[in-house]
Amino acid sequence: MDGAHYSNGHRRRKLEMTLLLACLCGLISLSCAGRPSVSRQKLQVEKHLKRLNKPPIKTIESPDGDIIDCVPISHQPAFDHPFLKDHKIQTRPSYHPEGLFDDNKVSNSKGPKERSSPMSQLWHMNGKCSEGSIPIRRTKKEDVLRASSVKRYGKKKHRSIPKPRSADPDLINQSGHQHAIAYVEGDKYYGAKATINVWEPKIQQPNEFSLSQIWVLGGSFGEDLNSIEAGWQVSPDLYGDNNTRLFTYWTSDAYQATGCYNLLCSGFIQVNSEIAMGASISPVSAFRNSQYDISILVWKDPKEGHWWMQFGNDYVLGYWPSFLFSYLADSASMIEWGGEVVNSEPDGQHTATQMGSGRFPEEGFGKSSYFRNIHVVDSSNNLKSPKELGTFTEQSNCYDVQTGNNQDWGHYFYYGGPGRNPNCP
């Protein structure tokens, strides 16, 4: 009797000790506090990295610390999408927009009329990918660990889109996203183009970002918003540094479950072997010095219906298949151009994260950042100057926008600002 009692008690204590040790060591899937254990998180991260980082045929180390993998075009992350299993890759668009090649070149301009050398990406200094492969910036473990969760890695936060007609202060404070944009609405749009001045704005907090981009939008600003976005950004949280990088984004449900930056989920199909999404752009503009800009075009192929992206005059990068979208499967109802920052400061304080060059629009060329040669694509696949541009900013004392129009630059605007300053506390 006593022996049996001792044996049962001993076994129970032994089981309790085993469970306690397992809990402490993270060997079971839930920690004592009910959160995912260290080992489970590690497993999730490794699984995610394996999904993103496809086996390369060649690897190039960039001077900025990036690793660029040359991956066979048919092995890229896009083809993890169940709808793309049997997709025949379209290597080039059926049609470019009419009037595209009448426009200016990508430039290194010391003044509004000088245009010359195209920009490059830093990794090009150490090699190129061969035809039939595409360059993919390798995702590192520390990149994923900076995200709020493995699931949210590579995604924008909800409500990161400017809604020009609802400058509600409560909405601004809740979302933390601020904008200085020009826009068109009220028609059907089949693409957009602009030449965007490139800078390296200073970011105050690692979880903030500053970007300049084109938005191609369809649907309402509720939970069904479709968006295709492209431009340049500085995002320490996403990339681990303060470099200015080329990026794209897409969503079909207002940033909730669908879409991502660059190639960090299945969706965008890249066909170009020379430009890497998410890689650093070089050189960038300097205050009262040489100004550098990039041209970006996003348009809907009238034959196949996919949305294509072109960088400069020479690089057709790839496309978003039309089935990814609901509203954009037909056309866009709004186009926006401009800057966006995240303000993560508490208690009503404003971040000192810069937008554009960090200078206000009235300072002009060589000091303030600009978008120029702004166009939309109409239903006949013609590249056209918009009839008029609306403007919007939540707090013009922090970041502002001013439009103009002349023979050389067509429709243009200067935009941006320093964030926190005496008029923007």
414, 286, 404: which is closest to 355 by C-alpha? 414
pLDDT in tens, 75-110: 999 999 998 988 999 999 999 999 887 644 434 443
Tell me, what's the pLDDT at 200? Answer: 98
In terms of DSSP H, where are the helices of 193-291?
236-239
CA–CA separation, 304 and 64 (whole Å): 38
pLDDT in tens, 353-374: 999 999 999 999 999 999 999 9
- The answer to whether residue 31 is domain-embedded is no
Active-site choice (340, 345, 362, 388): 340
Beta-strand pair 245-251/260-261: antiparallel
Termini Cα distance of the chain: 78
Sheet holding 332-342, edge to edge: 260-261, 245-251, 226-234, 210-218, 332-342, 177-189, 390-393
Q: Is 398 in contact with 416 (CB distance < 8 Å)?
A: no
- The answer to whether residue 236 is domain-embedded is yes
Q: Is the pLDDT of residue 19 over 60?
A: no
- The answer to whether residue 3 is domain-embedded is no
Q: Is 363 in contact with 264 (CB distance < 8 Å)?
A: no
CA–CA separation, 335 and 103 (whole Å): 20
Active-site choice (200, 229, 336, 394): 229
Q: Is the pLDDT of residue 29 over 80?
A: no
Tell me, what's the pLDDT at 118? Answer: 61
Exposed e or buried b for every residue in 99-135, given b needs 16+ CB within 10 A?
Answer: ebeebbebbbbeebeeeeebbebbbbeeeebeeebbb
Query: Which residues form the domain of 111?
Result: 97-119+144-416
One-letter amino acid of 133: S
Split at pLDDT 50, 70, 90, the class of 10 is low
CA–CA separation, 413 and 404 (whole Å): 6
Split at pLDDT 50, 70, 90, the class of 292 is very high
In terms of DSSP H, where are the helices of 334-378?
none
* Tokens linked to 147: 């995200």
Beta-strand pair 191-197/58-61: unpaired
- The answer to whether residue 425 is domain-embedded is no
DSSP label at residue 24: H
Number of domains in the chain: 1
Tell me, what's the pLDDT at 405? Answer: 96
Q: Is 89 in contact with 307 (CB distance < 8 Å)?
A: no
CA–CA separation, 392 and 159 (whole Å): 16
Q: Is the pLDDT of residue 35 over 60?
A: no
340 is catalytic: yes
Q: Which residues are CB-neighbours of 12 under 8 A, at least 6 positions away?
A: none
- The answer to whether residue 125 is domain-embedded is no
Mean pLDDT of 268-276: 97
Tell me, what's the pLDDT at 159? Answer: 60
Tell me, what's the pLDDT at 308? Answer: 98
- Per the prediction, the chain carries an average pLDDT of 88
CA–CA separation, 199 and 205 (whole Å): 18
Tell me, what's the pLDDT at 28? Answer: 37
342, 410, 399, 316: which is closest to 371 by C-alpha? 410
pLDDT in tens, 174-213: 468 999 999 999 999 999 999 999 999 999 999 999 999 9
- The answer to whether residue 357 is domain-embedded is yes
- The answer to whether residue 354 is domain-embedded is yes
Q: Work out the percent of the chain whose per-residue pLDDT is above 90.
A: 76
Rg of the chain (C-alpha set) = 24
User: CATH no. for residue 152?
Assistant: 2.60.120
Mean pLDDT lowest among 96-100, 301-305, 375-379:
96-100
DSSP label at residue 175: H
- The answer to whether residue 202 is domain-embedded is yes
Tell me, what's the pLDDT at 24? Answer: 44
Q: Is the pLDDT of residue 158 over 80?
A: no
Q: What is the pTM of this model?
A: 0.87
Mean pLDDT of 229-256: 97
